[in-house]
């Protein structure tokens, strides 16, 4: 298939299904597709010769698909392609005479696609101008802007192709389904045509034998049914028909009819009789039904026929075909099952997205509530400096937690499962617990509930993992313990290390409250989303009923356990056991980082490149407060000019925003690295950007930047990086000098 970008993609073998989801309004049902195809096949079957059948079918397909031209190409002995059949709409110039012995190079790309089971869909012929220049010129000359072409197979060998030109673009997939469905009849008709031509050279008996061999390979039998008045129905079957019925060659016509009719499944017998009556009344009909084969069991049969107007006896006579389509039906059912499974996966994915957004809404509101509460206290405590310092500390902790949640949302956009991305980073477990308590302290004060934390039972505090998940779990449980508590009640948070083996500690977190408790019946539903016990009677206790659902999913993801012990009126005890990987290298790293921070950036000359005035003001203030001297530039071009105008070695570091007008940070970094001056290749360039995905970091490194720091800027982290890069710059500069 050629997509809108001009690239080949492969479609599967067999009968394609319409793929109703995603374009349901533009697709037709499988039943409608079969009806259109069957109408064309019935019309073609009425023709006397295969040539006439093919022409009638091409006309029917062309009109049904609103195309300008339908055609059949067959490979000739020299390897070229001959346009052997053609139908054109009114006002369209025929091309058949101009398309004989088309060079193999023109359609070489198509045949490569055919060889692996693909077909061709071109939405816009301009898409193949570069990739298929010979085919492009061929199609452009004919005035073709879109087409659908499917291969014609004789067994596994491609013998040609057929298709439709300029159908409506929105119906290209429908056109490919229709052409695939009719391809078998096309090949069968071509074989019959070849056979009839061969019959002119052979005797009738030899031709009859060849015809039966072809029909046997196609699992299509020919029959005649005589419904003579006053006599039992008779069926005369050719050799293939007898094979399909599983009857001996010497079976009588009456027994053959009974054998066929009595093995039709009872629920379908009436439908088959109606099809017979329709054949007699309208001159054509077709029916699909399950049939009980004596040795194969249940098979599916496509049966159709026309009345024999030459029958002279009283009654009626029908001539028709009996085709075993079991393989097609099985394939179709598998495809339908695949579609249903795909739809279910899509439904689950949408459900996961909705659930995830609900979870994020729940988690985001908690730190926002803390920030707003502390701001309110801050405004009312102008004369209490100590209280104001405490409020500012809690606002910072809540804001940092909010930022962590936002970062997690960004990571989730990469995941196929809708779950938060796996994060492995060092953190302090005690600090995480203290932050949880700090964030929720305003709620505890508001509810007049005493909130206590005990970490004495923790032997290893430095860990590696996802600190955000720990925060989400603990804050959800503590939040519930506070919200569903009583005035002047208490919430106790304890953690103890119960085991340590091979670098992993088993930690038990116990959250105990004096709240209203949970009934026995509700315990089985406590981890279900959007569930609360006696919601109508608990108007004083607000919540969406998502907290414990979040806890359960995250604990399961971390391969831990969570249990709840509670009684109505007596409070609750939630125990969470989680494996925690201990960070055995953290102590050395912490010391090094402490030395970096202690060293500071006092006296450093920094070029700050930032187009946003507020962001520039914030970073400039933080840098100057740390003792650095700062020059600013509002875009990448101004940064390059400032660096070029300075003496070599003037700047100790460049802090570069990435997305800026005039010249981006990426381009500015490349230009600076390419300057012919001694410090162009060594001056540290640090990217400061809100683009925090891995590909953004990779792009920054490719542009010549040393590090990438995500906004909002962590000043401690930035100072550490600046110190480290300044030390490296000094070593590189010293290493490049020549000394006596």
- 423-475: pLDDT as tens digits: 577 888 998 999 888 888 888 998 899 999 998 888 888 998 888 788 888 98
Same domain, 495 and 401: yes
User: Which of 321-325, 353-357, 492-496 bottoms out in mean pLDDT, i.e. has the lowest?
Assistant: 353-357
DSSP state of 532: -
Whether residue 356 is predicted with pLDDT greater than 70 in this model: the reply is no
Same domain, 135 and 190: yes
Task: Tell me how far apart the alpha carbons of residues 33 and 11 are, in angstroms, rounded to a whole number.
Answer: 19
Same domain, 440 and 553: yes
Is the CB of residue 388 less than 8 Å from the CB of residue 378? yes
Same domain, 110 and 157: yes
Q: Look up the CATH number of the domain holding residue 501.
A: 3.30.565.10
- Tell me whether residue 589 is in a domain: no
Same domain, 31 and 84: yes
- Tell me whether residue 13 is in a domain: no
Strands (E), 382-478: 425-428, 450-457, 462-465
- Tell me whether residue 317 is in a domain: yes
Which one has a higher pLDDT value, 100 or 401? 100
- Tell me whether residue 1 is in a domain: no
Closest CA to 692 of 303, 423, 351: 423
Mean pLDDT in residue range 350-360 = 65
In the block, residue with structure tokens 């030459």 = 310
Same domain, 50 and 178: yes
As for how many domains the chain has, the answer is 4
Geometric angle at alpha carbon 316, from 313 and 317, rounded to 5°: 100
Q: Look up the CATH number of the domain holding residue 261.
A: 3.30.450.20
Same domain, 357 and 405: yes
Q: What is the predicted pLDDT for the residue at 311?
A: 85
User: What's the chain's average pLDDT?
Assistant: 81
Closest CA to 355 of 484, 528, 480: 528
Q: What is the predicted pLDDT for the residue at 540?
A: 46
Same domain, 222 and 174: no
Q: Which SS3 state, helix, strand or coil, does residue 33 take?
A: helix
Q: How confident is the model at residue 41 (pLDDT cuts 50, 70, 90)?
A: confident
- 586-618: pLDDT as tens digits: 543 443 443 444 457 889 999 999 998 888 998
- Tell me whether residue 138 is in a domain: yes
Q: What is the predicted pLDDT for the residue at 390?
A: 87
- Tell me whether residue 338 is in a domain: no
For helices 204-217 and 172-199, the axis angle rounded to 10 degrees is 150
Question: DSSP string covering 323-338, please?
Answer: EE-HHHHHHHHHHHHH
Whether residue 539 is predicted with pLDDT greater than 70 in this model: the reply is no
Same domain, 183 and 230: no
Same domain, 355 and 468: yes
Q: For residue 566, which phi and psi values (nearest 5 degrees)? A: -155, 150
**% pLDDT > 90, the chain:** 34
Q: Which SS3 state, helix, strand or coil, does residue 37 take?
A: helix
Question: Where in the sequence is the domain holding 218, given as residue range(s)?
Answer: 214-324
Give Cα separations from 314 to 233, 274, 483, 681 (angstroms): 13, 21, 91, 103
Q: What is the predicted pLDDT for the residue at 536?
A: 42
Q: What is the predicted pLDDT for the residue at 468?
A: 77
Mean pLDDT in residue range 127-145 = 93
């Amino acid at each position: 298939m050629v997509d809108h970008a001009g690239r080949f993609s492969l479609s599967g073998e067999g009968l394609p299904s319409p793929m109703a989801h995603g374009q349901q309004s533009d697709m037709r049902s499988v039943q409608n597709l079969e009806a259109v195809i069957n109408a064309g096949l019935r019309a073609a079957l009425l023709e006397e010769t295969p040539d006439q059948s093919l022409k009638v079918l091409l006309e029917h397909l062309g009109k049904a698909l609103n195309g300008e031209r339908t055609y059949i190409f067959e490979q000739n002995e020299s390897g070229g392609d001959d346009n052997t059949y053609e139908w054109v709409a009114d006002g369209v110039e025929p091309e058949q005479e101009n398309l004989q012995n088309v060079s193999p190079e023109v359609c070489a790309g198509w045949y490569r696609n055919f060889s692996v089971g693909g077909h061709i869909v071109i939405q816009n012929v301009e898409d193949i101008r570069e990739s298929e220049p010979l085919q492009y010129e061929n199609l452009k000359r004919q005035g073709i802007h879109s087409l659908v072409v499917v291969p014609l197979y004789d067994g596994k060998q491609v013998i040609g192709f057929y298709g439709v030109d300029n159908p409506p673009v929105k119906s290209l997939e429908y056109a490919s389904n229709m052409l695939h469905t009719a391809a078998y009849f096309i090949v069968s008709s071509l074989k019959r045509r070849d056979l009839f031509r061969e019959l002119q050279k052979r005797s009738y008996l030899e031709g009859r034998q060849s015809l039966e061999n072809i029909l046997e390979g196609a699992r299509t039998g020919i029959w005649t049914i005589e419904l003579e008045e006053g006599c039992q129905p008779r069926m005369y079957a050719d050799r293939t028909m007898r094979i399909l019925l599983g009857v001996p060659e010497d079976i009588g016509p009456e027994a053959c009819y009974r054998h066929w009719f009595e093995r039709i499944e009872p629920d379908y017998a009436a439908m088959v009789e109606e099809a017979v009556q329709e054949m007699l009344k309208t001159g054509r009909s077709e029916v699909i039904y399950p049939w009980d084969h004596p040795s194969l069991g249940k098979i599916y049969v496509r049966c159709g026929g026309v009345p024999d107007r030459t029958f002279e006896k009283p009654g009626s006579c029908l001539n028709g075909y009996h085709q075993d389509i079991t393989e097609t039906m099985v394939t179709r059912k598998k495809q339908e099952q695949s579609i249903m499974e795909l739809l279910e996966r899509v439904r689950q994915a949408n459900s996961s997205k909705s659930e995830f957004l609900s979870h994020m809404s729940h988690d985001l509101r908690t730190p926002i509530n803390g920030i707003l509460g502390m701001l309110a206290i801050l405004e009312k405590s102008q004369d209490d400096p100590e209280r104001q310092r405490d409020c500012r500390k809690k606002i910072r902790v809540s804001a940092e937690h909010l930022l962590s949640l936002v970062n997690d949302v960004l990571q989730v956009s990469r995941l196929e499962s809708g779950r938060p991305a796996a994060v492995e980073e060092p953190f302090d477990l005690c600090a995480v617990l203290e932050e949880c308590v700090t964030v929720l302290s305003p709620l505890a004060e508001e509810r007049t509930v005493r909130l206590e934390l005990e970490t004495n039972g923790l032997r290893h505090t430095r860990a590696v993992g996802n600190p955000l998940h720990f925060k989400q779990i603990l804050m959800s449980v503590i939040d519930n313990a506070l919200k569903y508590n009583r005035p002047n009640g208490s919430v106790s948070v304890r953690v103890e290390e119960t085991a340590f083996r091979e670098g992993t500690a088993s930690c038990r977190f116990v959250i105990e409250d004096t709240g209203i408790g949970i009934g026995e019946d509700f315990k089985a539903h406590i981890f279900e989303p959007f569930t609360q016990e006696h919601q109508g009677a608990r108007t004083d206790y607000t919540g969406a009923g998502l907290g414990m659902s979040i806890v359960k999913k995250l604990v399961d993801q971390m391969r831990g356990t969570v249990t709840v012990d509670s009684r109505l009126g007596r409070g609750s005890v939630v125990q969470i056991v989680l494996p925690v990987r201990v960070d055995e290298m953290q102590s050395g790293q912490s010391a090094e980082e402490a030395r970096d921070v202690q060293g500071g950036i006092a006296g450093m000359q920094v070029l700050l490149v930032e187009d946003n005035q507020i962001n520039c003001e914030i970073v400039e203030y933080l840098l100057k407060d740390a003792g650095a001297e700062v020059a600013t530039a509002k875009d990448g071009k101004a940064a390059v000019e400032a660096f070029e105008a300075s003496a070599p070695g003037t700047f100790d570091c460049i802090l570069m925003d990435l997305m800026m007008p005039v010249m981006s940070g990426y381009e500015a970094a490349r230009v600076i690295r390419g300057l012919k001056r001694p410090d162009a290749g060594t001056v540290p360039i640090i990217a400061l950007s809100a683009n925090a995905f891995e590909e953004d970091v990779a792009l920054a490194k490719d542009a010549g930047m040393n590090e990438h720091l995500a906004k909002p800027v962590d000043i401690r982290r930035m100072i550490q990086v600046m110190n480290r890069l300044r030390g490296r710059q000094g070593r590189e500069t010293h290493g490049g000098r020549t000394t006596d």
